[in-house]
Amino acid sequence: MSYQEEFNFWLNDAYFDEDTKNELLAIRNDEKEIEDRFYKELEFGTGGLRGVIGAGTNRMNIYTVRKATQGLANYILKQGGKEKGVAIAYDSRRKSPEFADEAALCLAANGIKAYVFDALRPTPELSFALRKLGCISGIVITASHNPPEYNGYKAYWEDGAQVTAPKDKEIITEVKNVTDYHEVKTMDKEEAIKAGLYQVIGAEIDDAYMEELKKQIIHPEIIKEMADDIKIVYSPFHGTGNVPVRRILSELGFKHVYVVPEQELPDPDFTTLDYPNPEDPKAFTLALKLAKEKNADIVLATDPDADRLGIYALDTKSGEYVSFTGNMSGMLIAEYILRERTAVGAMPENPALVTTIVTTNMAKAISDDYHVKCIEVLTGFKYIGEQIKWFEQSGSNHYVFGLEESYGCLAGTHARDKDAVVAVMCLCEMAAWCKKHGKTVWDQMLDLYEKYGYFKETQYAITLKGIEGSRQIAAIMDKLRNDPPKEFGDWKVLEFRDYDRNRILNMESGEERETGLPQSNVLYFDLTDDSWCCARPSGTEPKLKFYMGVKGNSLEDAQEKVEKLTEALKAHI
């Protein structure tokens, strides 16, 4: 059907409710808006759904959520997982509770039990809950840190990680095969509850989750000793982190935790934020104001679904708060865990740290120092979760820590996705250790730089919209792939990795070997002086993303080098 025919179908068919039809009637004279809403189906990709909320095939609404869930249900039935059930969580966004119920009732109508949280919960707790309950799958209704007009739908499998190959493609195929909305099943909520196919979950899972988090604490005695001295400012950015973060810090004994009052409660409009993203410095405006009032040691913020953590720490020499990238905060936690677990004899046999190909090279330097295997995976935390599963199946290694550059990390194996709640807990323990030893968290970061090198990373992105933009992105990637540069400015290319063609080329010898990672449209250049750059098209935006990393001998040197490398990269595009 054409977009106009789809519009008329939604407007006139009895399947769609009156609210939906009234919304569409309001745009009936806006050709451009009708086209945008109906020119395609909202794509169910490897991460699930994400889009603007509204009526239409290219929007997040109860009908697109139901349709996606019918595809997932069909796959679960084919896998023989009907009896295991599906766990469902949701965040503070518009329509999140409604979308969670629509998914649950579609599953129930297919004879699959749904376990639905009684209120909003963090994404990592869903990952924990589905394994705790022995479910075949899990769903989180969230658009993470997207603007308020968005919502999304993330699918998980029984190992607790977001779905990976080959199941991701198989589920996508099942979703695409659902072409008739009338074939999508649903049922009355009360009937589903009576039939035992809709079960509310809550406190029992929360309690079990908290107990798992506490197992990651190495020095509870240091927390108790420093609890009166350390001051923490925290913002949940109107999202799911407020209750679990405050609870875990309170139960561990931290006494001075100040929550940003304007951002404490759920708010689907994110009224106090331009963009609810811990990577955005402007998002910390209110938290930093409170930090200065309280003379806080650290300032923490979690994104709306509480899987990513941003931090600032006080520099006592300047009196200012310094921002930390995801690489920096991840390295602080990783080094603390590796050092202190080694010191107290709590490091498991064959320990492993898992990181992504675009995460800082400091991870390898620290891992080597503590004799921990460092394993690189593709971008996306699901690949880190997948490694945990493989370790358990093979017994080859024991997972100690995992991180990615985009402000996500995981200590422990209670979840198989990044967990900002455990990250807050670990970082606060590390901050207490710093306080005990007469230093700030920023001092500790400088100590790591002095010991391992001043690693510095940055990103550069080109936005190219529409069909022509897609062609331009493909052309740039083809040029880099088929005629890889031999140098970027002062940096020689040592090796060129093409993950789409499963090929690593030694630029000096011409020797080739396989990447050993799944196929992905990613190009990576290993450079001299422990530097690198990487190119990949974004999976969610019309962007070509470039990641770069350098190693300097001071903060200023590293900054100068990363700026030079960025300019050298631009010259090749």
CA 543-545-551 angle, to 5 degrees, is 165
Strand partners, 270: none
Measured CA to CA, the distance from residue 427 to residue 441 in angstroms comes to: 9
Q: Are strands 86-90 and 137-141 parallel, antiparallel or unpaired?
A: parallel
- Smallest Cα–Cα separation from 283: which of 300, 259, 298, 305? 300
pLDDT digit string (tens) for the chain, length 573 residues: 899 999 999 999 999 999 999 999 999 999 999 999 999 999 888 778 999 999 999 999 999 999 999 999 999 999 999 999 999 999 999 999 999 999 999 999 999 999 999 999 999 999 999 999 999 999 999 999 889 999 999 999 999 999 998 999 999 999 999 999 999 999 999 999 999 999 999 999 999 999 999 999 999 999 999 999 999 999 999 999 999 999 999 999 999 999 999 999 999 999 999 889 999 999 999 999 999 999 999 999 999 999 999 999 999 999 999 999 999 999 999 999 999 999 999 999 999 999 999 999 999 999 999 999 999 999 999 999 999 999 999 999 999 999 999 999 999 999 999 999 999 999 999 999 999 999 999 999 999 999 999 999 999 999 998 778 889 999 999 999 999 999 999 999 999 999 999 999 999 999 999 999 999 999 999 999 999 999 999 876 789 999 999 999 999 999 999 999 999 999 988
pTM of the model: 0.96
Peptide bond before residue 266 is cis, with ω within 30 degrees of 0:
no
Measured CA to CA, the distance from residue 42 to residue 40 in angstroms comes to: 6
| Positions marked catalytic | 144
